[in-house]
Structures are given as C-alpha cells and as structure tokens.
C-alpha cells in the first residue's frame, strides 16, 4: 500500500514505539491520528510533528484504549477529520503485574477493541475500502517472560486473536490484512520501568541472558519493519514477525498436519 494520501491511526502514539511508527508514516506521506492516554505528551508530539511535516498532517485524540466510549469516539473524530482510515496500529501497552486486570484491559482488550472498530469501518461488506491492521505484541507473545507472566498472557492473546481474525478476514473477504509484530527488547519507558522493580531480582539473570542474545532495539528499528509490512501488499495476512537486533522474520506456527496421531 503506497502511503501518499492514506490515513493511519496509531494507539499509544505519544512516545516510544508508537511515536516512531507515527513519524515513519508521516515521513512517507500519510496523515496520522495519534491516540494516547497521556494528554500532555500527545499534544507535544503533535506540535513537534506540525513543525516537521506541516500543520494538519497529524491530530491528537486523548483516549484510553480500555474505554469503549473513548476509543469509538476517537475513531469517529479521526474518520470525520481525515475522511476515512486505511491503516490501524494497535500499539498501546503497559507492564503492570500487580494491577494485572488493568494490564489485560489495555494490552489485550484494547487490541481486540481497536481491531473490531477498525474492521467495522474498513471491511468491504460494510462498504469500507479495506486496509491494513498491525497489532503490536512482543517476544513475550511467543514464549514465557518469567518476570512478567500477565504481560506474557496478554501478548499471547494478541497473537492468537490477530491470527484468528486474519483467517476470518480471508475467509469472509473483508479486504483487510492483519499482521502482528513481536519485537524483542526496545529502549523505551516500558523497558526502563521493569528495571526499577526490586522484587524481580531473582529473575534478572534469565532476562539478562535474553538481552545478551537479542540486543536492544531502538523504536526506529521497529518502525522500519512496520513500514515494510504496511507497504508490502504481498505480506502474509495473519503473518507474525519477530524483530530482534539480528533482523525480522516470520514465525512458522504448527499446522493441523503437525498434530501427532493420538496414541491411547
């Protein structure tokens, strides 16, 4: 999908990975609605983008993705302002193992909600013009991250939900492609926040080994892979990509043919 004249919506866009995804979309000609729960950071990001790319190319909507009312309202405002949406990136996420219901509400329910809102608008059976949805999971969506079991569960949920809805999109002819990105460690506030938690000392070694082997990405590294996926219409619908400092590749999941014959 060429980006000139296209409209995107990115959640958690005020900082970190979401801000980098927004920037690369703007650099390539799209207009972008930035959604974030942090009003000050969101407004600052749009002011900076106005200076760099010209006023009117981006807009900020203060929105908590765990609220159906706020999220729907942000979709409606963005659609009215820019005349439709072509690319949705459900990126907002947190690590909060103590308030774990909040973590699930943001990381998993927020992605499900954002995907349903996007499909309502984009799918061809509703008169929509199709499009691309990119959901941001994590390596913790593919294997256990012992320091953050609830985060792990929410990210596995993102991977499973996105793959299933992508299959539905193919079978039912929605005209919408859904992909998932699973970055390793990225230098952002989420990554820094866990460092401060003393209670996780015993699990630090395990995390340290993963860090050594995967390295630490910059948000712009994730943005480059994101751009490639959005632009490439031959990208597999339902494809899940891992991203580490060594590069990006599709994950091959087991299929029904891999299930061993039952021996009872």
Ligand X SMILES: CCCCC[C@H](O)CC\C=C/C=C/C=C/[C@@H](O)[C@@H](O)CCCC(=O)O
Catalytic residue among 60, 71, 75, 151: 151
* Binding span for ligand X by CB under 6 A among 32-40, 138-146, 172-180, 225-233: 138-146
| CB closer to ligand X, 143 vs 247 | 143
Share in percent of the chain as helix, strand, coil (round to 5): 50, 20, 30
Cα–Cα distance between 188 and 195 in angstroms, integer? Answer: 12
Check: CB of residue 58 under 8 Å from CB of residue 36. no
Nearest to 16 by CA among 42, 48, 40, 39: 42
**Residue 216 CA: distances (Å) to CA of 65, 128, 222:** 27, 39, 11
**Per CB under 6 A, does 177 bind ligand X?**
no
* Residues forming beta bridges with residue 179, ordered by sequence position: 134
- Binds ligand NAD (CB under 6 A): choice among 3, 7, 9, 17: 17
Give me 242's structure tokens. 């891992």
List the single partner that 194 binds among ligand X, ligand NAD, none, CB under 5 to 8 Å by kind: ligand X
Give me 100's structure tokens. 């774990």
**Per CB under 6 A, does 66 bind ligand NAD?**
yes
Place of tokens 């087991």: 254
User: What is the residue-wise DSSP string for 225-258?
Assistant: HHHHHHH-TTSPTT-EEEEETTEEEE-----GGG
List the single partner that 148 binds among ligand NAD, ligand X, none, CB under 5 to 8 Å by kind: ligand X
Check: CB of residue 11 under 8 Å from CB of residue 35. yes
Based on the residue annotation, tell me whether 151 is a catalytic residue of this protein.
yes
**Per CB under 6 A, does 147 bind ligand X?**
yes
* Binding span for ligand X by CB under 6 A among 7-15, 123-131, 140-148, 225-233: 140-148
Q: CB 49 → ligand NAD: shortest distance, Å?
A: 14
**Per CB under 6 A, does 82 bind ligand X?**
no
**Per CB under 6 A, does 238 bind ligand NAD?**
no
**Residue 214 CA: distances (Å) to CA of 51, 105, 139:** 35, 28, 10
| CB closer to ligand NAD, 82 vs 185 | 185
**Per CB under 6 A, does 58 bind ligand NAD?**
no
| CB closer to ligand X, 144 vs 173 | 144
- Binds ligand X (CB under 6 A): choice among 20, 210, 217, 243: 210
Binding site for ligand NAD (CB under 6 A): 11-12, 14-18, 36-38, 41, 63-66, 91-94, 106, 136, 138, 183, 185-186, 188-191
Binding site for ligand X (CB under 6 A): 95, 138-140, 142-145, 147-148, 183-185, 190-191, 194, 207, 210, 242
């Amino acid at each position: 999908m060429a980006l000139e004249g296209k409209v995107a919506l990115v959640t958690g866009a005020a900082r970190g990975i979401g801000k980098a995804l927004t920037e690369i979309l703007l650099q390539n000609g799209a207009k972008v609605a930035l959604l974030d729960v942090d009003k000050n950071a969101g407004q600052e990001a749009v002011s900076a983008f106005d200076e760099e790319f010209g006023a009117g190319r981006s807009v900020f909507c203060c929105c908590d993705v765990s609220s159906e009312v706020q999220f729907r309202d942000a979709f409606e405002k963005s659609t009215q302002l820019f005349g439709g949406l072509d690319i949705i990136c459900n990126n907002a996420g947190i690590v909060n193992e103590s308030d774990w219901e909040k973590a699930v509400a943001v990381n998993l329910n927020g992605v499900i909600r954002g995907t349903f809102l996007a499909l309502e608008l984009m799918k061809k059976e509703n008169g929509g013009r199709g499009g691309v949805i990119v959901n941001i999971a994590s390596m913790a969506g593919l294997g256990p991250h012992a320091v953050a079991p609830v985060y792990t569960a929410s990210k596995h949920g993102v991977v499973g939900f996105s793959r299933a809805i992508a299959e539905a999109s193919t079978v039912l002819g929605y005209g919408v492609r859904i992909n998932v990105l699973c970055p390793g460690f990225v230098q952002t506030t989420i990554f820094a926040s866990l460092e401060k938690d003393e209670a996780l000392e015993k699990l630090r070694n395990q995390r340290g080994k993963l860090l050594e082997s995967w390295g630490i990405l910059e948000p712009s590294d994730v943005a480059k892979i994101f751009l490639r996926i959005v632009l490439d219409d031959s990208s597999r619908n339902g494809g899940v990509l891992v991203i580490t400092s060594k590069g990006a590749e599709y994950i091959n999941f087991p299929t029904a043919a891999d299930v061993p014959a039952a021996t009872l």
